[in-house]
Amino acid sequence: MSRIPMLLATACALLAPSIQARAAKPAPVWHATDADRADARALLEQIVAIPTAKGRAGVPLLVDVLAARLTAAGFTDQDIIRVPITIDGEQTMGLIVRYAGRNPARKPVALLAHMDVVDAIAANWATDPYRPVEKDGYLYGRGTQDNKFGVAVLVASFARLKKSGWTPDRDLLLAFSGDEETGMLSTRRVIANPLVGRAEYALNADAGGGSVTAAGVPIDFGMQAAEKTNATFEVTALNKGGHSSVPRDDNAIYDLADALARLRALRFPVQFNPITRAMTEKAAREANGRLAAALRTLLTDPTDASAIAVARQNPSTSTILWTTCVATMLRAGNAPNALPQNAVATVNCRILPGTPVADVQAAIERTVANPALRVALVGEAVESPVSPVRPDLTVMLQRALNVSWPGATLSPNMSSGGTEGREYRRAGIPTYGAGSLGMVMPQDARAHGTDERIPLASFYKELDYWDALIRQIGGKAR
């Protein structure tokens, strides 16, 4: 996951009361009818049934389906822009749809989703991953959650609003990518289009939502405004090798093992930005005992060793506090009766915004402490900044959330994983997670895994949410 000046660290906390007060103002809202829900669900099932994983060549077929739906609603061929790109010999595609506004002087807003999926191992599923099926209030199928529900809801919303005759004050853009899961090269092509490149900001349907109880009571909803950089390094030990019957002290596997033991102890400092400070304040309020006390201490003294030790015992909470690096893969040797000539460890790092990847690589090299070992970046690591928390936009997002989940509270957050928001932020387009998909955690967290599913009741609420949000961002400037 990104791509800008920040508000002061206390802004999130100071804004919360005024945001809630303004968001609570009554306003006429639209609610989906049974026909609207059936239409959106039919589109979701249709596109889930198209395998769009890398190597399946399905993205252009999916674009054809979306283009036909939008054309039938009144969008012209000029409004629907295909962005083809060939990657590793396969054609995939981005898609831009312009909903023309009345005021060309205003910058547009881009609405993001991705059309590709991580492929599924059908033998491991209880259902066919590419044949959507409803069970117990859920729709099962690859991409239902990540991220074809976002594609379906946004297209259904654009089509319905167009048919109704509604015209926004500014241009609104659908900006869909075709390889978010495998490289985001189509994302870059989409951003390079002049329409998208001049966007005031982007709203990412792949980075919003929250958690609810099994009874449907909202717990926590987030607005992603930052992402950690995902960087992968290889640590390589080389050796001349030899016969295993004549072992020597120099051994590629042992040298690498010693390096990994040192790397295991590598610790990065606590660092706060406005988003992670607000997240830590919230976590401290919700935690108990030693963890709550440790988080409160770190907010005032990020170097307190005792508080750091307590926080490290709770990685699901503390991962927002620092950069992390962890060994994830190993390969070594070439024969059971030969001294190893090489040994390679893969180390994956999740890096806080504002920390250069080169600095992390240097820290790994210092920790390995062996000039004979090589530390190299694998592929590309995209650095991106924190998007500023905008009070006006936060109010609009909160109002839309209250349409689908009355009483729910929105909080800015940073993702440890990656989305194409990183590419937009890097290009200078502030980007925010948007959406109100409410899921019961952890049992509904199945993106990239087996038996991926989406709760249909929450999916239908997304129609109400996006209608409310689109009308606000497309309304006249205040």
Q: How many domains does the chain have?
A: 2
- Please tell me the predicted confidence (pLDDT) of residue 9: 32
| 282 contacts 411 by C-beta, under 8 angstroms | yes
**Claim to verify: residue 349 and residue 240 sit in the same structural domain:** yes
Residue 391 falls within a domain, yes or no?
yes
Classify residue 444 by its DSSP letter: T
pLDDT tens column, 14-26: 344 444 444 444 4
Residue 155 falls within a domain, yes or no?
yes
Residue 5 falls within a domain, yes or no?
no
Residue range of the domain that includes 56: 11-227+384-473
**Claim to verify: residue 160 and residue 195 sit in the same structural domain:** yes
**Residue 27's pLDDT band (boundaries 50, 70, 90)?**
low
Strand partners, 325: 349
In percent, how much of the chain has pLDDT > 90?
Answer: 92
Residue 6 falls within a domain, yes or no?
no
**Claim to verify: residue 293 and residue 388 sit in the same structural domain:** no
Mean pLDDT of 122-126: 97
Residue 111 falls within a domain, yes or no?
yes
**Claim to verify: residue 95 and residue 152 sit in the same structural domain:** yes
**Claim to verify: residue 341 and residue 194 sit in the same structural domain:** no
- Please tell me the predicted confidence (pLDDT) of residue 3: 30
Residue 1 falls within a domain, yes or no?
no
**Residue 2's pLDDT band (boundaries 50, 70, 90)?**
very low
Mean pLDDT of 443-448: 94
- Please tell me the predicted confidence (pLDDT) of residue 15: 41
Residue 164 to residue 168: CA distance in whole angstroms: 12
User: Mind giving me the DSSP string for 63-127?
Assistant: HHHHHHHHHHHT--TTTEEEEEEEETTEEEEEEEEEE--S-TTSPPEEEEEE-------GGG-SS
**Claim to verify: residue 195 and residue 337 sit in the same structural domain:** no
pLDDT tens column, 63-113: 999 999 999 999 999 999 999 999 999 999 999 999 999 999 999 999 999
Q: Which of 320, 351, 378 is the last residue of a domain?
A: 378
Residue 478 falls within a domain, yes or no?
no
Tokens, residue 298 = 């770190």
**Claim to verify: residue 50 and residue 147 sit in the same structural domain:** yes
Q: What is the CATH number of the domain that holds 262?
A: 3.30.70.360
Q: Which of 378, 394, 424 is the last residue of a domain?
A: 378
Residue 174 to residue 109: CA distance in whole angstroms: 9
Max Cα-Cα span within the chain = 82
DSSP-derived 3-state class of residue 169: coil
Q: Which of 361, 378, 395 is the last residue of a domain?
A: 378
Mean pLDDT of 107-131: 97
**Claim to verify: residue 205 and residue 234 sit in the same structural domain:** no
Mean pLDDT of 170-197: 97
**DSSP-based helix, strand, coil % in the chain, nearest 5:** 35, 20, 40
**pTM assigned to the model:** 0.88
